[in-house]
Amino acid sequence: MTGVRIAGVGLTHFGKHPERTGRDLFAEASEHAFADSDVSHDDIEALYYGNFMGELAEHQGHQGPLMAEAAGVRAPATRYESACASSGVAIRQAVKDVRNGEADAILVGGAERMNNLGTAGTTEALAIAADDLYEVRAGITFPGAYALMARAYFEKYGGSKEDLAHIAVKNHEHALPNEHAQFQKEISVEQALDAPMIAEPLGLFDACPITDGASAAVLVSDEYAEEHGLDAPVSITGTGQGGDRMALQGRKHLARSPAAEEAAEEAYAEAGIDASDVDVAEVHDCFTIAEVLALEALDFYAPGEGIGAARRGETTRDGERPVNLSGGLKAKGHPVGATGTSQLVEMTRILRGDHPNSDAVPDAKTGVAHNAGGTVASATVHVLEVQE
Please identify every residue annotated as catalytic.
84, 334
- Interacting residues of 84 by C-beta distance below 8 A, sequence separation 6+: 52, 129, 284, 286, 334, 336, 339, 340, 371, 372, 373, 374
Query: What is the rounded CA–CA span in Å between residue 223 and residue 215?
Result: 25
Q: Are the beta carbons of 291 and 328 closer than 8 angstroms?
A: yes
Query: What is the rounded CA–CA span in Å between residue 75 and residue 46?
Result: 5
Query: What is the rounded CA–CA span in Å between residue 78 and residue 46?
Result: 8
- Interacting residues of 69 by C-beta distance below 8 A, sequence separation 6+: 23
**Across the beta sheet with 234-243, what order do the strands follow?**
77-80, 46-50, 105-112, 213-221, 4-11, 234-243, 378-386, 366-373, 280-282
Query: What is the rounded CA–CA span in Å between residue 135 and residue 202?
Result: 19
Q: What is the DSSP string of 319-370?
A: SSS-B-TT-HHHHH---GGGHHHHHHHHHHHHHHT-STTGGGSTT--EEEEE
Please, what sign has the CA dihedral across residues 181, 186, 189, 195? negative
Query: What is the rounded CA–CA span in Å between residue 384 and residue 235?
Result: 6
- Strands 366-373, 280-282: pairing is parallel
Query: Phi and psi for 75 in degrees, rounded to 5?
Result: -160, 160
- Strands 213-221, 105-112: pairing is antiparallel
Segment (H or E) for 120: helix 118-126
What one-letter code names the amino acid at 356? P
- Strands 46-50, 77-80: pairing is parallel
Choose among 196, 200, 244, 210: nearest CA to 374.
Answer: 244
